[in-house]
Chains A and B, each alone.
Chain A
Amino acid sequence: MDKASKWSVAAVAALAVVVLILPLVVKSSFAIDIFVRILLFSFIGVAWNLMGGYAKQLSLGHAAYFGLGAYTSTILQIDYGISPWIGMIAGGVVAALASLPIGWLCFRLRGPYFTIATIATAQALMLIFLKFRDFAWGAEGTTIPNLGNAPLMMQFEAKSAYYYVALGLLAIGLAITYLIEKSWMGYYLVAIGEDEDAAEAIGVNAPSMKRNIYMISAFLTALAGTFYIQYIYFIDPPTAFSFNISIEAALVAIVGGIGTLWGPVIGTILLETASTLLQSWLGSSIGGLQLTVYSLILMAVILWRPTGLMGMIGEVYHRLASRRQARA
């Protein structure tokens, strides 16, 4: 192993240690809440990134799967007493299955059409859940019953427990991304992302690849949905199928660097930190000020660093590497 690889392995190991002991060191409940949010939205971004980053299928309707996962586990828990741990997997399966007809419809379209169709499907699902009260509480939604400390039912008194669950989810997401990235599937996805027609011309089965990655992406997003509802103790259609979730999933990946392993994580850290800082400095003194600044930051990133932060880091790295080479 050369020096550079040794450094990166060491760095990752150090990072892992820090991340693992963080909740034990930091006692502030407020801070842990932020960490949970960062972990969760990194995970959602990673799930989105599989489809949107590598295969460049820009979906802004991932909230559909988020909501399906959330509702599946909640229905199973409240109506049948089944633990949300199982419900989470069930939700993932439901979402993956749902991605098939939705994918069939949406993949017939290209470019912005595809995006708009995904937005429409998420919105349509929300409207359906709003309307049909019999199987899913309709517009009023429901709260998760208070079970105190019930780890088997995904309810913990200690905030740090939620941190570790979210961390676990993120680790799974990153692991899956890494494996795909390094496999033949990864290469085919990138090819499809670059130029779908060309990829098909050289024999890549684009429809099948897109279908598969969509299923995986949907499955993972649904897991996040279950966790989120367990965390906020409440579900209703606007929350579960929130357009904001669809946006944030894509946003963190883009800002951090689409199509990269760590992109969504870095993007989430940046955006969440900025958001929290803004909230504490500017707060609710003037309505809209925080989001105004937030959107200005977004625009700045998009205008000047479209490859995201990972792209920026990549550039810096290359500049340093080439300087070293020149000297050698």
Chain B
Amino acid sequence: MWETVAQAVINGLLIGGIYALVSIGVTLIFGVVKIVNFAQGEFVMIGMYLSFYLATQFGIDPIVSLVVTMPALFVVGVLVQHFLIRRVLGPNDMPQIFLTFALSLLLLNLALMLFSANYRTVHTSYSDEAFHLGGLYIPVAKLIAFVVAMILSGALWVFLHTTDLGKAMRAASQNRDVATLMGINPNRVFCVALGIALALAGAAGSLLMPFYSAYPFVGQVFVLMAFVAVVLGTLGNVVGALIASLMMGIAESLGIQYVGADSGQIVVFAMLLLTLAFKPNGLGGGRVR
């Protein structure tokens, strides 16, 4: 019995790491730029396809391909901010929401056009292997993904709290006007925020490749969970998103185990709605940390 619970918790934790990478990106963008990026899942998808082609054309292991996907998507993030998002920043949030939504639709269908709906899989030597500890099993690929996700999250936290640019970003997220008065260029800060967020999405994509298949709609599968995590952890709160993601992964896993295999999402939604009923700003309390 204990074995089952422990295994469920491990499963949830590991997938929670991936949710974390996606949700941290979303929450960072919201915290700094104050918009919700509905297209985040599609950037994960792009990361996956990029890794797929690097793996099949050059034989580069997906995890190693991080060093390509992350910078590539960072650049994409800067471009998206500079040419698209900048134009709809304003008091009205509707154009912003619909812009990123349209972007999501665009990327998804471009992928469909260019790559067709077929699933792309990469098999590495460790793809289907697992560590066995007692009666528990820990899939190798997922463990690596989790560890890298935690490292990247930690690196982001350090960046936000120790570097000047990071502090500038936090300042801009707390109060854009005052930050501008203090000489911080908002657009530059936003570009960096977008860049980092998309780089994290790309990382998620690369980390997913060994054990997940790439197809145009794959982003949609992860983005919903990521969004719930963002809200749960308070929009803009990076640490909150991380913790919420891990919690959600575990809750989903336990929900599937003990409530019903189709109830994973319901349990998570229940968590969300209950939390919002009593803590409308999420568990994090509304600060960007």
Contacts and interface: CB of A to CB of B under 8 A. Distances in A.
Whether the complex brings A and B within 8 Å at their CB atoms is answered yes
A251 B98 contact: yes
Interface in B84-120: 84, 87-88, 92-95, 97-99, 101-103, 105-106, 108-113, 116-117
A142 B221 CA distance: 27
By secondary structure, the A interface counts as helix
Nearest to A305: B95
A12 B288 CA distance: 52
Given A295-B102, A302-B98, 9 more contacts: A58-B93, A108-B280, A111-B93, A112-B36, A112-B93, A116-B231, A127-B262, A127-B265, A294-B105
A127 B266 contact: yes
A316 interface: no
By secondary structure, the B interface counts as helix
Given A108-B280, A120-B269, A131-B263, A287 B113 contact: yes
A299 B101 CA distance: 9
A113 to B, nearest CB: 6
B280 A289 contact: no
A130 B94 CA distance: 31
A202 interface: no
Interface string B140-172: 000000000000000000000000000000000
A23 B207 CA distance: 56
B98 to A, nearest CB: 5
A299 B99 CA distance: 6
A109 interface: yes
Contacts of A254: 94-95, 98
Contact of B97 (A105, A112, A287, A294): A112
A167 B97 CA distance: 31
A306 B92 contact: yes
Of A115, A251, A295, most buried by chain B (CB within 10 Å of CB) is A295
B106 A299 contact: yes
Contacts of A258: 94
A241 to B, nearest CB: 13
A320 interface: no
Interface of B: 30, 36, 84, 87-88, 92-95, 97-99, 101-103, 105-106, 108-113, 116-117, 216, 224, 227-228, 231, 235, 260, 262-263, 265-266, 269-270, 272-273, 276-277, 280-282
Of A108, A128, A286, A288, most buried by chain B (CB within 10 Å of CB) is A288
User: What bracket does the count of chain A residues touching chain B fall in?
Assistant: 35 or more
A306 B96 CA distance: 10
Contact of B110 (A121, A290, A292, A303): A292
Given A109-B276, A127-B265, A247 B101 contact: yes
B95 A289 contact: no
Nearest to A304: B87
B113 A286 contact: yes
B273 A299 contact: no
B227 A116 contact: yes
A97 interface: no
Contacts of A108: 276-277, 280
Contacts of B276: 105, 108-109, 113, 117
A321 B260 CA distance: 64
Contacts of B280: 108-109, 113
Given A124-B266, A127-B266, A299 B94 contact: no
Contacts of B272: 117, 120
Interface in A261-300: 286-292, 294-296, 298-299
Contacts of A212: none
B216 A115 contact: no
Interface in A95-115: 105, 108-109, 111-113, 115
A48 to B, nearest CB: 12
Nearest to A251: B98
A123 interface: yes
B40 to A, nearest CB: 13
Contacts of A109: 276, 280
B93 A288 contact: no
Contact of B102 (A56, A112, A302): A302
Contacts of B108: 288, 291
Interface string A70-105: 000000000000000000000000000000000001
A131 B93 contact: no
Nearest to B269: A124
Interface in A220-263: 247, 250-251, 254, 258
Interface in A47-69: 56, 58
A294 to B, nearest CB: 7
B220 to A, nearest CB: 10
B97 A288 contact: no
Given A108-B277, A113-B235, A131-B263, A296 B106 contact: yes
A40 B94 CA distance: 23
20 contacts: A58-B94, A109-B276, A112-B235, A113-B231, A113-B280, A115-B36, A116-B228, A117-B231, A117-B272, A117-B276, A120-B228, A121-B273, A130-B262, A254-B94, A291-B108, A292-B110, A292-B113, A295-B105, A299-B99, A302-B95
B105 A117 contact: no
